[in-house]
Every structure is written in structure tokens, then in C-alpha cells.
Amino acid sequence: MVKKVIAQLSLLVFGTILISVLLKQVGINYLAGGLFGLAIQFVGFYAFKSALQTYAALQNKKLENERLKEFSYQGLSVTCPCFKQIKEFVPIRLNAPNYYKCSDCKKTIGVYITPETAIVTEPQESSLEAVNNILAKSLIDVDKK
């Protein structure tokens, strides 16, 4: 932390001296050149910092727009419970209640998502050799009994 502050102050002093020496060549005295150099560095740093923050904000907005675009792909085709049974594609959010307004009956409809679980299994081999092996094993087991 201290090293960082010393390095920044060193750059500030070096930059001020460099600018004042360059302005001395033009005919401006050291004190005025040093103050002008100091002011230029602060203004330049502020401009750089503002530009960097604006760039970061634009990048964040771009990422947010891409996220919303991808998020808009999440949805369900649902049927309105009214008598006309109108099908509509409704965007679904997992972290908020899901409602939509039917385009025909103009009523607000709620969409409820019910999570379900299932056991994932491996498919059995379906080759003729595998079937013959299974049959042979079961015949051997029957013979042993």
C-alpha cells in the first residue's frame, strides 16, 4: 500500500518536473510550468478515470443486454384456461412469479412451474449377443435350482 502511494507520488512529481522543464524551453518560468503541469496531470487523470468508468459501464450494459436476450429464450408454450384454449409462448422467470395477460380474453393468467425428479438410468444393450448372454445366464440360474 505504501509502495503504491510512493510510486504514484513519484510519477506525479516526475511528470510535474518534466512538464515544467519543457515549458521553460518555451519561456514559461518553472513555478508556473510546475503548477500547470500539476493541473494537467490531475485533469488528465480525471478524464482517464471518467473514460474508463464510462467504458466499464458500457461493457456492463452490453453484457446485461446479452444476458436479457439469452434470458428471453426461456419460456413455455402454455394454453389459456379460458373456453377458447388459446396457446401462447410465455417467458418464464425462475426467481419471480410468472403471469401473463391472455391475448384473447384479456385476463391475467398465472403460470406455476412444478419441479419433478426422475432417476436417470443407463440403457440396456440391445445387440443379439447381449440378449443371448442374458438368456444363457437365466437358463444356467434355472438349472442350478
Task: Please state the rounded mean pLDDT for residues 21-43.
Answer: 85
Domain map of the chain by residue range? 2-71
Average pLDDT of the chain, as a whole number: 83
10 φψ region: left (φ > 0), alpha (ψ -120 to 50), beta (else): alpha
Reported as a single tens digit per residue, the pLDDT across 40-76 is 888 988 999 999 999 999 999 999 988 877 766 678 8
pLDDT of residue 83: 82
pLDDT higher than 70, residue 104: yes
pLDDT of residue 124: 66
pTM of the model: 0.43
